[in-house]
């Protein structure tokens, strides 16, 4: 997943990064095809160049040697709302058919079954980043037809599209999962199956999704991580395996 996410990033882009897999993906992209990627953390660190793998988006290693540190009012007003962010990464407990994300509650808001952390900066990243990439593992409970609570808006909310709702960014263009990649359909805004990992079938993906998944006429085949990508991820970027757990089948997350 980290390698697939990395390939979505273009050189010179400005990326609003979270900790964990998005951070790894960005660093992999910088080490390969996108050396001029600029990483911004909502904590206010811009152009970080951490000497260790950060364990929090406010890690001191993101500050030391960064290009700029600014207050959070600037992060949200001058960078995000200003339109400076090309790509935002989002994840969540639930992702639905239109890429709406729930990180607030499972169940009713007033009396939740599970209280999740809430929006953080996700709601505004979903509104303002020029495009967002959702990263989440497939599981029918995590991919319901409709999320219990829309924290971060996707391609369509209550039948109305992003333009109509006045959102500047293009919203979630892809959902990168552990079995395949969904893409937002240009006309309906629905997340449709676009590409599969090697050895995975469309039915495998459907099993992890709670709505009848539309499939692109021609499904792409996702190239497995190259030897270089694997080496960088395992030996350089996350040598202690903090975020990457090697699975029995040899796949790296």
Partner 1 sequence: MASGKVMAMRDAVARFVHDGDTVVIEGFTHLICFAAGHEIIRQRRRDLTLARLTPDLIYDQMIAAGCARKLVFSWAGNPGVGSLHAFRRALEGKSAGGGGLEIEEYSHFGMVARFSAGAARLPFWPLRNYMGTDLPTANPRIRSVTCPYTGEVLATVPALNPGVTIVHAQRADVAGNTQMWGLLGVQKEAAFASARVIVVVEELVEEDVIRSDPNRTVIPGMIVSAVVVEPWGAHPSYAQGYYDRDNDFYVAWEGVSRDPDRLARYLEEFVYGVPDRAGYMNKQPHLAARLKAKARLSQGVNYGF
Closer residue to partner 1, CB minimum distance, 32 or 84: 84
Closer residue to partner 1, CB minimum distance, 72 or 223: 72
- 8 A C-beta contact, residue 214 and residue 193: yes
Q: How far is the CB of 121 from partner 1 (least distance, A)?
A: 4
Q: SS3 letters for the chain?
A: CHHHHHHCCCCCCEEEECCCHHHHHHHHHHHCCCCCCEEEECCCEECCCCCCCCCCCCCHHHCCCCCEECCHHHHHHHHHCCCCCCEEEECCCEECCCCCEECCEEECCCCEEEECCCCCCHHHHHHHCCEEEEECCCCCCCCCCCCCCCCECCCEECCEEHHHHCCCCCCEEEEECCCEEEEECCCCCCEEEEEECCCCCHHHHHHCCCCCCCEEEEEEECCCCCHHHHHHHHHHHCCCCCCCCCCCCCCCC
Q: How far is the CB of 225 from partner 1 (least distance, A)?
A: 24
Closer residue to partner 1, CB minimum distance, 83 or 140: 83
Question: CB under 8 Å to 147, separation ≥6 — which residues?
Answer: 94, 95, 96, 100, 101, 102
- 8 A C-beta contact, residue 173 and residue 124: no
Q: How far is the CB of 178 from partner 1 (least distance, A)?
A: 20
Closer residue to partner 1, CB minimum distance, 126 or 181: 126
Q: How far is the CB of 131 from partner 1 (least distance, A)?
A: 16
Question: CB under 8 Å to 230, separation ≥6 — which residues?
Answer: 3, 252
Q: How far is the CB of 250 from partner 1 (least distance, A)?
A: 27
Q: How far is the CB of 212 from partner 1 (least distance, A)?
A: 23
Exactly one of 13, 42, 124, 229 is catalytic; which is it? 42
Closer residue to partner 1, CB minimum distance, 42 or 190: 42
Closer residue to partner 1, CB minimum distance, 160 or 207: 160
Catalytic residue check, 8: no
Catalytic residues: 42
């Amino acid at each position: 997943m980290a390698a697939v996410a990395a390939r979505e990033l273009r050189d010179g882009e400005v990326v609003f990064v979270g900790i964990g897999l998005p951070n790894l993906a960005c660093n992999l992209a910088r080490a390969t095809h996108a050396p001029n990627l600029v990483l911004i953390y909502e904590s206010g660190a811009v152009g970080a160049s951490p000497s260790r793998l950060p364990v929090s988006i406010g890690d001191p290693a993101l500050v030391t040697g960064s290009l700029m540190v600014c207050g959070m009012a600037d992060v949200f007003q001058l960078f995000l709302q200003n339109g400076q962010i090309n790509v935002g990464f989002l994840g969540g407990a639930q992702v639905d058919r239109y890429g709406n994300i729930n990180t607030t509650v499972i169940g009713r808001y007033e009396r939740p079954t599970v209280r999740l952390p809430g929006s953080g900066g996700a709601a505004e990243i979903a509104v303002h980043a020029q495009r967002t990439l959702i990263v989440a593992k497939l599981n029918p409970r995590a991919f319901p037809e409709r999320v219990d609570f829309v924290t971060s808006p996707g391609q369509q909310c209550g039948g109305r599209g992003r333009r109509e709702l006045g959102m500047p960014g293009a919203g979630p263009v892809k959902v990168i999962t552990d079995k395949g990649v969904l893409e937002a359909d240009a006309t309906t805004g629905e997340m449709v199956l676009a590409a599969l990992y090697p050895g995975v079938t469309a039915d495998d993906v459907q099993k992890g999704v709670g709505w009848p998944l539309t499939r692109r006429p021609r499904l792409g085949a996702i190239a497995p991580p190259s030897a270089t990508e694997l080496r960088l991820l395992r030996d350089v970027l996350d040598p202690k395996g903090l975020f990457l757990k090697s699975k029995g089948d040899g796949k790296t997350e």
